[in-house]
Amino acid sequence: MSAEATNPEAHPEARPELRRRGRSRLDLRRLGRAALLGPTSRDRLPDAIGHVAEAHRAHHPDADMSILRRAYLLAESSHRGQMRKSGEPYITHPLAVTLILAELGAETTTLTASLLHDTVEDTDVTLDQVRAEFGDEVRFIVDGVTKVEKIDYGAAAEPETFRKMLVATGNDVRVMSIKLADRLHNMRTLGVMRPEKQARIAKVTRDVLIPLAERLGVQALKTELEDLVFAILHPEEYESTRALIAAHAGESDPLPGIADSVRTVLREAGIAAEVQVRPRHFVSVHRISRTRGELRGSDFGRILILVGENADCYAVLGELHTCFTPVVSEFKDFIATPKFNLYQSLHTAVATPEGYVAEVIVRTRQMHRVAEAGVVALGNPYATATPDAAADPDEERADPTRPGWLSRLLDWQQSAPDPDTFWTVLRAELAQDREITVFRADGGTLGLPAGASCIDAAYAQHGEAAHSCIGARVNGRLTSLSSALSDGDTVQLLLAQDASSGPAAEWLDHARTPAARIAISSWLDAHPDRAMATTTAARAPLSVVGARGGGANAVADLPDATVRLAGCCTPVPPDAVAGFLVRGGAVTVHRVQCAAVAQMRAVGRTSVAVHWRATADCRVTLLAESFGRPHLLADLTEAIAREGVEVVSATVEPPVEGRVRHTYTLQLPDAAGLPALMRAMRDVPGVYDVSRA
C-alpha cells in the first residue's frame, strides 16, 4: 500500500513537545473501533469522521456534509479488511490525512478526494466510479494523487520521481496539498521503520516536500514536517534543542507579561486586536540558538497580533513603535510587498524597559489563515465563473500561486535534458526564498527569483526567441542584459531581427532561472562552433581605414600653420570654435564648450583665431553604441554610404557584456547633413546611441 504504516507510540509524535498547541489529534484506536462497526444510519454522520466534520464546519459552517458521509462510506467499505503495519484499520490513514486538511480549512471537494485518495490504487474502486458518484473535480484530484502514489520512491530514482510528481500534481495544487498532508501523517507514524528507511524518507521530505510546502504557503504543514525531519536526521541536535526548551519551560517566561502590556496599549488606543504568544517550533529554536548563542526567555516565542483590516495593522505598528523601543533593523513589511507564497504580515521587534526584545508579527485574521494554510485557504482556486459549468479535466488550469512559479516548474521540466539536470535546477529553484515581480512593456508581469537579470526576464517572456535578445530597457533606460532586476521594475526586451543569432556563453554567469540556464546551455551544446567563438579572448579593436585622407576645413589666422580638429569634441561647421597653438607649430581647434578649452587657457596655451572655410564639407568623428549582432558593421557602413558620406576610418572595440562601441571618422560633403546622418545610424537595428566624439 502507498501509505507508510507504523506504530504511532514509537514516533516523536507521541512526545508532547512536538504537538502543535490547539490542534487536536486523532485517537487512532477509537477510530479503528468506530471503523470496524461499519456503516451507520443514513440520518447521521459516522462517528469516525466526527473530528473531520467538526473541523470542517469551523471553517465552512454551511458545508454539505452528506458528500463527506458518502465518501467515507465508500472508502471504509473499500479498505475494510486492510490493516496498517501498526494494526489499525487502514481507513485511519485517509481519515487522518483528511483531518489535517480540514483543520487547515480545505473545501469540501478536497476533503472528499482526500478520503478517497488511496481507493483507486489499493482497492477495486475505479476512477469511473468516483466520477459517477462525486463528479469530475473529485475524480481529477484522486487521479492526480494516484499517479503520485504509483511513483517509485527508490533512493536512486529521486530526480525522475519528482519530475513525475510535478507532472502529476502541477495541474491542480489540491493534489499537492493532499500529498503533503499524506506525507505529514506518514512522517508522524514513521517510528517502527528501519533507521535507514526513516532517513531516506526524511531526506526526500527535507529536499523537496518541505520546500514545496513553503512554496504553497502551507506553514502549518511545513513547520511540523521540519521538526519531524529534524528529529530523524539530526537526533543529537534535536535532543539538545529539546533539553533547551525543557529548561526554558521551568523558568519565568517574559512573553506573557509583554503580551499583556501590548493588550493594554492597544485597548487604550481603541484598536480591537487579539494578542497571542506563539512558541517557536523546534527547528526555529535551533536556528536562532546558532545565530544568537545563549537564548533569553523572549527568544523562545513571538507575539502574534490579529486585527480586522489592513489599516489596523499599521495602526498597531504605530502604537508599538510609540510605546516601546523599536528595533529598526527587524522591521519588514510583507503586506506592501507580499512573499512569493501569498504570505502577508508586518514583522517588527520591540525592546522592553527590562531589557527583553520581543519579536512581533501583525496581520489580519484573513492573512493569518493564508499564512497557516497557504493555497489550501483559497478554497477551490479553479472554480468556474458559472457554478453550473462543468470543468474540463484536460483543460490547462490557471496557476493560483503568486506569481506563477508552479507553471514555470512545469514549463522548464519539459526542457531539462536529463534527470540530474532537472534535479539540480529543481533544488536550486526551491531554495529561492524570495521572488520579485517585474512589469513587461506590454503591461503584463513576470515572476522571477530575487537576483534575476534581464537575461532571465527575456527567457521568461520570449522562451527560445530570447536567443536573439540584444539588450533591454529597464525603467526606460538602456542597460546590459546582465543587469539585475528589482521588484517593480519595468522591462522592455530588445530582440535582433536576425533570428539566427544566439546567446553568448557568459550569459550563463548571469542567468538565475532554470528556464534560462537550460535554454542557453542547450543552444550552446547545439552550436559548439558559435559557442567557442563567444568565449575567445578579447580581440584587438578592428580598424577600417578609407582610401582618402582629406584635410581639415578650419583656417587659422596664423600663416603656414597646420590646423587640426580636436578629436575630443570633433568640431564641424557652423560650431563656434577656439584655436590654440600647440607643440610643433600646429593649431588645434576645439568647440568652445569643450572642457579642453579651459585646460588650454589654464596652462597658458596661445589662443589663435580660427574660422571655417567657405566650403561646406567637413570631417567629423562619431561614436555609435550598439548591442552586438552579426553583420552590424556592414549595416552601419551601408547606412553611412546611403547618406553620401565617406568613411575615413572606423574602429570597432571588442564586445563588453554584449555591447559594442564603434568609432567612425567621416568626411561629409555638407555639414548640414550631420543630423540626418546620425538619425540614419540610430535607425540601424541594434544601435541605441550615436554621438559626436
Residues recognised as catalytic:
121-122
Count Cα atoms within 13 angstroms, Cβ side, for 59: 24
Smallest Cα–Cα separation from 233: which of 196, 188, 202, 192? 202
Phi, psi for residue 483 in degrees, rounded to 5 = -65, 135
CB 364 within 8 A of CB 346: no
- What is d(CA 681, CA 232) in angstroms, rounded to the nearest whole number? 67
Smallest Cα–Cα separation from 334: which of 303, 298, 370, 300? 370
Spatial strand order of the sheet with 477-479 comes to: 445-449, 435-440, 490-495, 469-474, 477-479
CA-to-CA dists, residue 89 to 193, 200, 255, 351, angstroms: 18, 26, 43, 53
CA-to-CA dists, residue 418 to 147, 160, 167, 522, angstroms: 21, 9, 15, 12
Q: What is the CA radius of gyration of the chain?
A: 35
Q: Is the dihedral of CA 11, 16, 17, 20 positive or negative?
A: positive
Helix or strand holding residue 56 (H, E) = helix 50-59
CB 181 within 8 A of CB 101: yes
Smallest Cα–Cα separation from 110: which of 174, 161, 168? 174
- What is d(CA 217, CA 180) in angstroms, rounded to the nearest whole number? 12
Task: Copy the grid coordinates of residue 307.
Answer: 486585527
What single-letter amino acid sits at 486?
Answer: S
- What is d(CA 68, CA 63) in angstroms, rounded to the nearest whole number? 10
Burial class (CB in 10 A: 0-12, 13-18, 19+), 305: buried
Other CB atoms closer than 10 Å to residue 423's CB: what's the count? 19
- What is d(CA 666, CA 660) in angstroms, rounded to the nearest whole number? 19
CB-based contacts of 519, cutoff 8 Å, min separation 6 = 415, 459, 463, 464, 466, 467
- What is d(CA 693, CA 622) in angstroms, rounded to the nearest whole number? 5
- What is d(CA 63, CA 66) in angstroms, rounded to the nearest whole number? 9
* Degrees, nearest 5: CA angle 359-364-367: 90
Helix (H, G, I), strand (E, B) or coil at 363: strand
Task: Copy the grid coordinates of residue 127.
Answer: 476512477
The b/e string for 261-281 (b: 16+ C-beta within 10 A; e otherwise) is bbeebbeeeebebebbbebbb
- What is d(CA 143, CA 141) in angstroms, rounded to the nearest whole number? 5
Max CA distance (Å), the chain: 121
Helix or strand holding residue 243 (H, E) = helix 235-249
Burial class (CB in 10 A: 0-12, 13-18, 19+), 454: buried
- What is d(CA 680, CA 179) in angstroms, rounded to the nearest whole number? 61
CB 125 within 8 A of CB 389: no
The b/e string for 559-582 (b: 16+ C-beta within 10 A; e otherwise) is eebebbbbeebbbbbebebbbbbe
